[in-house]
Amino acid sequence: MTKLPTTLPALAVLLTLFAGCAEAESPKSSQPLESPTASTVFSPKSSEEPLPADQVFVPDAHIEDSALVFRIQLLPGYYLYKDKVSVRSLSDAVGLEEHQFIEEWSHSEIVADEWFGEQEVFFDEAHGSAQIRSLTQNIPSMDIELSYQGCKEDGLCYMPQTKVLSVDVPARLESAADKTE
């Protein structure tokens, strides 16, 4: 029975310590954990927030003579894979030949790409054209689908992008369609 009085003060000290721990605030995380986004999955080297693909790769298109001419402008420090660029007509009234790059406006280089090996890429901008094979009816505009993929030079690679662009059809092409009907 003599042990009870010596154990009792020790037990009181332990209860006081545990009570103090229970009242202390638990540490709070400064930011919730988030799953990686598709655009950052391929970003092993970059710690900055990636720009949206729409700000990095800016496409446009128009018809010149009897060809669809397209351009994709890039921000400095980014590149576009040459073999990942494609264009097609979404209009049943317009057929397009396979596109060609306009080399005097689009300078390409060979790079050793971390993900795809040796690749031909464009810096600054890519220009291409596709001959209009057929225009079967009089239409004021046509929709095209322009697809492409590129990366930032530090290793961040974007998922393939596909944009639908509406392109005005010049009146002289419309009148040529009238003659073929």
Least confident span in 29-38, 60-69, 113-122: 29-38
Q: Are 139 and 93 in contact (CB under 8 A)?
A: yes
| pTM attached to this predicted model | 0.69
Residue where the block lists tokens 């050793």: 112
State the CATH class of domain 53-175.
mainly beta
Q: Are 143 and 166 in contact (CB under 8 A)?
A: yes
Distance of alpha carbon 119 from alpha carbon 111, whole angstroms: 5
Is the pLDDT at 1 greater than 60? The verdict is: no
Is the pLDDT at 32 greater than 90? The verdict is: no
Tell me: the pLDDT tens digits for 148-158? 999 998 878 99
Q: Give me the pLDDT at residue 35, please.
A: 35
Closest Cα partner for 80 from 157, 144, 146, 154? 157
Tell me: the pLDDT tens digits for 159-178? 999 999 999 998 877 544 44
Residue where the block lists tokens 């005005």: 168
Q: Give me the pLDDT at residue 7, please.
A: 46
Distance of alpha carbon 155 from alpha carbon 157, whole angstroms: 6
Tell me: the pLDDT tens digits for 51-95? 999 999 999 999 998 999 999 999 999 999 999 999 999 999 999
Least confident span in 3-17, 51-65, 105-119: 3-17
Q: What is the mean pLDDT of residues 91-113?
A: 89
DSSP result, 48-83: SPPPPHHHHEEEEEEEETTEEEEEEEE-TTEEEEGG
The confidence band for 103, taking pLDDT boundaries of 50, 70 and 90, is confident
Distance of alpha carbon 179 from alpha carbon 120, whole angstroms: 42
Q: Where are the extended beta strands (E) located within the chain?
A: 57-64, 67-74, 78-81, 86-89, 94-96, 100-101, 108-113, 117-123, 125-135, 141-148, 150-152, 161-168
Q: Where are the domains of the chain?
A: 53-175
Handedness of CA 61, 63, 64, 67 (dihedral sign): positive
Distance of alpha carbon 38 from alpha carbon 44, whole angstroms: 13
The confidence band for 47, taking pLDDT boundaries of 50, 70 and 90, is low
Q: What is the mean pLDDT of residues 18-34?
A: 39
Distance of alpha carbon 116 from alpha carbon 118, whole angstroms: 7
